[in-house]
Structure 1
Amino acid sequence: MRILHTSDWHIGRTFHGHSTLDALAGVLAALVQQVRDQRVNLVIVAGDVFDSATPAAPAYTLLTDTLVALREAGARVVVTSGNHDSAARLGFQARLLREGIHVLTDPLAVGTPVSIDDADGPVHVYGIPFLEPALVRHLWPGVELRSQAQTLDHAMGLVRADLATRGGRSVAIAHCFAAGVEPTPHLERDIQQGGLDVVPLSVFAGVDYAALGHIHGRQTLSDRIRYAGAPLHYSFGEGDKPRGSWLIDLDAAGHASIEWLDLPVPRRLVTLTAPLDELLADGRFAEFEDAWVSARYTDTAPQSDPMRRLQARFAHCATVVHAPAVVAERDGRTYAARVQAARDDLELIDAFLAHVRGGEGAVDDERGLLREVIGDRVAAEAIA
Structure 2
Amino acid sequence: MNLTAQPAGARVGRVPVRFRGPFVRWPRGADATLAIALFLAATFLQDAPGDTVAVRSVTDVPPPVLVLFAAAGAALYWRRRRPVRVLWVTLAAWAPTLGSSYSTLGGVVIVALYSVGRHADDTRWGRLGVVAALAAVTADGLVNSLHWGEICFGCLVMSGAWYVGRRLLLRTERAAQLRHEQAAEARRIVAEERTHIARELHDVVAHRVSMMTVQAGAARMVAADDPQGALEAMTAVEEAGRQALDELRHLLGVLRPKAERDGLGPQPGLTDLPRLVEQVREAGLDVSFIDGIQAPLPARVELSVYRIVQEALTNVLKHSGPRTHTEVRLAHTKCGRGLTIEVLDDGRGAAVQSVSDTAREGMGGHGIVGMRERALLLGGSLDAGPRPGGGFRLTAHLPVQGEAA
- TM-score clears 0.5: no
* Higher Cα radius of gyration: 2
Which structure has more RCO (C-alpha within 8 Å, separation ≥ 6)? 1
| TM, length-normalised to structure 2 | 0.27
Q: As a proportion of its length, which structure holds more helix?
A: 2
Q: As a proportion of its length, which structure holds more strand?
A: 1
